[in-house]
Every structure is written in structure tokens, then in C-alpha cells.
Amino acid sequence: MGRSSTTRRLLAGSAAAVALCLLATGCSRPVDGIPTANDEPKVDTVAGLPASDGPSGRKPGATDAKLPVVGSTGGEIDTLAVDTVADVREYWKTAYPDTFDGTAFRPIARLVSYDSRNTDRRVCGQRLAGSANAFYCPRSDTIAWDRGVMLPKLRNTFGQIAPVTVLAHEIGHAVQHRAGLVDEDTPTLVSEQQADCFAGAFFRHAAEGSAPHIRVSTGNGLNTVMGVLSYIRDAPGRTGFADPQAHGTAFDRVSAFQYGFSDGPSRCAEITEKSVAERTTQFRFWKDKQESDLPVEPDNIRAVARSLRKVFGDTGFAPPRVILDSRSCAGAESTEPVSYCVETNTVSVRLPGLRELARPPANGERSSGYGDFAAYAQLASRYTLAVQESAGLSLRGDAAGLRTACLVGAWSGLLVEDPLGQRNPVGKLRIAPGDVDEGVAALLGDDSLIAADLTGSQVPAGFPRVEAFRIGFQQGMSPCASEYGA
């Protein structure tokens, strides 16, 4: 997050048009080049499935799948991998012809298990020694995985569902090659997002209980899957992944996963170079120009408050006072580190707690913080409660939590600077792509206010939390009230 070096004039009319749409249905901010899914969010579900926490990974008691694997030692990781490949293959046996004009799905030609600590094997002309990876090689139609380092590390860090996620994604690459959706010139970003989307389609099948060996819960299970997608990267040099910078942000990847999960595999085929490029040129532009941190200081808190006031100004809301202490609020629980008091229309900020959250994650792993944007998004979330209060909306319950995430997303989307003139950024604050990822990480965590109601009660499943934020980010305020009404 950073400040724009020059004051940008708000293009006449744009903010007013956006803001007045808050309560109107069927009115949305026109944003060219931002693909929007046919989302029909339901407040208490995960893309229409019941939201629940529960175990994810291999189903207990399922008979091990049998598939020939070159180099397998039949250990735990290989068993999990084979069960996964068998289930994903089974899924595509039906889904592939349904999606691609009745064409039958050709099984993956070769599966290879290797131990990167100790192998002299080569796949795709590459030495596997020292390559902690899992990948698809289109030339020999091979899926290979490192059972020695990479998959065990993921399993130990995230649980059994992590290797499943990686392999479903790699088979997504096999699907896109079979369907002719990619060739040598396809940018990595496009093929990555398609593969994430295809993985999402499989995970819906698993979440519905239809996969014979693999299960995933729609609450903490999918939270983990989306966390893994944010974490993993393909190694360069395979399936054309030449540019290590071009893998997309966590926000891109999780969005693509959600498209596949919510709308099915035909949505994935619509992820094209054009649709992705329109988004990514913006991201690259901001990254060069605007990447910076905004330390949690009183001055910057005031700048964020001004930005929020400007973005929501034309809704006719009564702007809350933002104060730097935790003043008590009669008849209401306070939330940490920021709380909203309806009675006094005040947002109170506790600086130490907010600074904790603003600490950057170390080496991509979370320490105690998520980064500056995640911290300011907590402030924004409490601030949008004042917007909702003025609009006569309820501040309690899951609908309020999702509306809050959506409005925080809408605010973030209006801080985006766009070289093509498709967006009209509001105020002086700007966000960078890493900022959005901080927001996604916080939304997938269990301690964020971004998708929480007045009492700090967070919407239970991470999927709808991220989805609501994304819808606001991409489409502006208007769906926040219409989709998450009541």
C-alpha cells in the first residue's frame, strides 16, 4: 500500500455513480476487462454446498487405487498420490466429454514417483535430482512427483489435502493440453490459472462426496486448499513456465480456483490470454510504480480514513469518527484491534494490535502479521459498518460479515491505478498486488475482521469470505447489498 505521488483528480461522475449503486440492484460499476463469474453467492453456503469443517484427505476405509507408477516404493505419499490421480482421472472421465464436445478423456500416459534427494532419473529431459517439485510434462504426457521432499513437506505443513491440491492442479495442465487450450506461446499466467480452475472443478466433485478416495470439507478443508494454491509455485522450465515472475498472485490463483469450483470446467476454458492480460497489465503497472509499505502511524490511519470517506462519500452515510484508543462502547462488545461503536458512530483503533497485523509475513510464511494492507483492511471493515448502519442494514450475522468483506473489496478496487483508463482511482492511496494477497491470506486465517460482523464473529468458511471480497473488488459496491442482503 502506498501513496500516489501526484494528486489524482477523481473523474467526474464516476464515484457518484458507483456509490449511489450501493443499495440499488442491477446497477454495477462498469469495469472493462475484469471477468466476472456467474456468482450467485448464498450467505450460509460455499457455492451452494453446506459450509462445514471436517477432515480432509484420504477417506478412511477406501480401497487403495491401483495405477502403474514408475519408481514407486508404495509408501504413504505414493499411495495418497495414486488415490488422488485415480479420483481426478475418474472425475475427468465424465467431466471432460461434458465440457469438450463429447471427446473421451485419454488417461495420463505415465506417472513417475521420485525422491529428489537420491535419483538419477530424468523426465522431460530434466534431471530430477535436487528437484523438489511436482509437474506435468506435455511432451511425454507425464505427471511426476517428488515423494522424498516436496510432497512430504507440503503434507507436514498443510495436511494430506496439500499433495492432493498439487496433483489436481498438475492434471489440470494435462486437461488443458488435451483440449488444445494452450500451446508453446501461451503465457504462464494463463495456463496456471486454467490449471487452478480445473483443480477447483475437481474439488467441488470431492466436496460433494463423489470422489471414491479423497474428501474435502467446505470449511477448513477448502481454506487449506486455497492456502496451498497461494503458497506453491511451479518450477521454471516445464510446460513453458519460463518466467518465474508470471505465476499470478495468490488473489489470481484463488479466484481461478473459485471459478472452477462454483461454475465448473467450462468456465476454466474461458480463462484466456485476453482476459488474464487485461488484469495483469494493471498489476504489473502498479507493482513498478507503487509498491511500498504504509507504516501503521496516526498520519497514515488518517489517510486511510480519508480514503474510505471519499470512496463511500456519495452513499450519503454519516462518516464515523476514527479515534486512536479503545474507548468503551455502551451495550456492545469491542473487537480487536479495531472496533465500531454504533451508538457514538466511532471507529476505535488500538495501534499496537494493528501494528502486529501489519508485520510482513517472513519468507511467505505467516509469523504474527499479514502485512500493511491486511491491517488497514481491518480498519476498513469496521469503517464499512458505519456505511451499512447508515443504509439501514443489519450489522449482525453472516450476511453482515460478507457484506463487510465485499465493501472492503470495493474500497480496495477503487485504489487501483490503471494505465488503460478503465478504472478511476479514488483519493491518493494506492494498493499493490501483494496487498491484495495479504487480504486473501487474512481472509483465509481464523482471526480477521475483514469478513466479520459488528461483534467480530467471522463468517465460518473461508471460501465465501474470499468470494465476497473478490466480488466487491471486481464489481464495486453494488453487489455488496444486492447479493448479501438482509
DSSP letter string, 91-126: HHHHHHHHHTTTPPPPPPSEEEEE-TTS---EETTE
144 binds Zn ion (CB under 5 A): no
Torsion of CA 374, 364, 430, 416, to 10 degrees: -100
Stretch that binds Zn ion, among 103-111, 123-131, 189-197, 221-229 (CB under 5 A): 189-197
175 binds Zn ion (CB under 5 A): no
Closer residue to Zn ion (CB): 238 or 310: 238
Closer residue to Zn ion (CB): 196 or 389: 196
442 binds Zn ion (CB under 5 A): no
Question: Minimum distance from CB of 250 to Zn ion (Å)?
Answer: 14
Beta strands 142-146; 110-114: pairing state:
parallel
Question: Minimum distance from CB of 285 to Zn ion (Å)?
Answer: 25
Per-residue burial over 329-358, b if 16 or more Cβ lie within 10 Å, else e, is: beebebbebbbbbbeebbbbbbeebbbbbb
Hunting for cell 482511482 — which residue is that? 425
Closer residue to Zn ion (CB): 196 or 438: 196
Question: Minimum distance from CB of 228 to Zn ion (Å)?
Answer: 12
234 binds Zn ion (CB under 5 A): yes
CA 78 to chain centre: 29
Stretch that binds Zn ion, among 192-200, 259-267, 278-286, 294-302 (CB under 5 A): 192-200
Closer residue to Zn ion (CB): 177 or 310: 177
195 binds Zn ion (CB under 5 A): yes
Closer residue to Zn ion (CB): 115 or 192: 192
Closer residue to Zn ion (CB): 198 or 376: 198
Closer residue to Zn ion (CB): 137 or 161: 137
Instruction: Please tell me the count of residues contacting Zn ion according to CB under 5 A.
Output: 2
Closer residue to Zn ion (CB): 37 or 195: 195
Question: Minimum distance from CB of 234 to Zn ion (Å)?
Answer: 4
Q: Give the containing element (helix H, strand E) for 214.
A: strand 214-215
Q: Which residue is nearest to Zn ion (CB)?
A: 234
The answer to whether 131 touches 235, Cβ cutoff 8 Å, is yes
CA 247, 359, 445, 300 dihedral sign is negative
Fill in the DSSP letter of residue 180. T
Stretch that binds Zn ion, among 4-12, 92-100, 234-242, 294-302 (CB under 5 A): 234-242
> What part of residues 264-303 is at the interface with Zn ion (CB under 5 A)?
none
Question: Minimum distance from CB of 246 to Zn ion (Å)?
Answer: 11
Rounded Cα–Cα distance for residues 379 and 65 (Å): 49
**Cβ-proximal residues to 251 (8 Å cutoff; 6+ apart), any chain:** 433, 436, 437, 439, 440, 470
Question: Minimum distance from CB of 432 to Zn ion (Å)?
Answer: 24
Closer residue to Zn ion (CB): 128 or 134: 134
CA angle 415, 420, 425 (to 5 degrees): 20
Question: Minimum distance from CB of 133 to Zn ion (Å)?
Answer: 10
Fill in the DSSP letter of residue 384. H
Binding site for Zn ion (CB under 5 A): 195, 234
